[in-house]
Structure 1
Amino acid sequence: MNKSELIEALARNTELPIREAGAVTGTILEAMTAAMARGENIEIRGFGSFVVKEYESYYGRNPKTGEKIKVPPKRLPFFKVGKELREKLNR
């Protein structure tokens, strides 16, 4: 499922016009993105949680030249599946 399909499903299930369903979906995704940018975790009961993992800098190698390079520290999103979703998927 992609964003357009999610918007269509929301519009179908709530009888909202596509534009309004798109605005609602956009608002939800923007709020989640802003929360994660602030370093906050997001928990959706029955579905899962999104956390921000912080990685330290390290030295890697350029695969083309073999040159040693420093990789800067970074923050990446990580999804942990919830118990109910995991059970549904494994039935």
Structure 2
Amino acid sequence: MNKLEIVKVIAEESGLTQKEVTGVVDTMINTIISELKKGEEVNIAGFGKFVVKKRAARTSINPRTKQAISVPASKAPTFRAGKQFKEAVNK
């Protein structure tokens, strides 16, 4: 399922237009991104938590040249599923 399919389902079930739902979904996504950029966590009760995981700088090997390369520190967004969400998926 992709974003457009999610928008269609929400529009059908809520009675809102697809344009209105798209605006809400976009705002939700942008809000999550904005908060993660600030270093904040985003908790959605019963669903899960979006967090930023920090990855330390490290040395790796280029598989083609076998030379050591330096990989800089980075941040990666992650999602931790909540208990209710996990239980619903496993039913």
Under a length normalisation based on structure 1, what TM-score does the superposition of the two structures give? 0.95
User: 1:65 is matched by which residue type in structure 2?
Assistant: T
Q: Residues of 1 paired with 2:26 and 2:90: CA distance?
A: 30
- Tell me the residue number matched to 2:16: 16
User: 1:52 is matched by which residue type in structure 2?
Assistant: V
Q: Residues of 1 paired with 2:49 and 2:17: CA distance?
A: 29
Gaps in structure 1 of 5+ consecutive residues = none
Identity %: 34
1:55-86 C-alpha deviation (Å, 9 max, x unpaired): 11000011111110000000001111100011
Q: Residues of 1 paired with 2:17 and 2:73: CA distance?
A: 43
Query: What is the CA distance between 1:38 and its match in structure 2?
Result: 1.0
Gaps in structure 2 of 5+ consecutive residues = none
Alignment RMSD = 0.9
Query: What is the CA distance between 1:14 and its match in structure 2?
Result: 1.2
Structure 1 moving runs of 4+ over 3 Å:
none
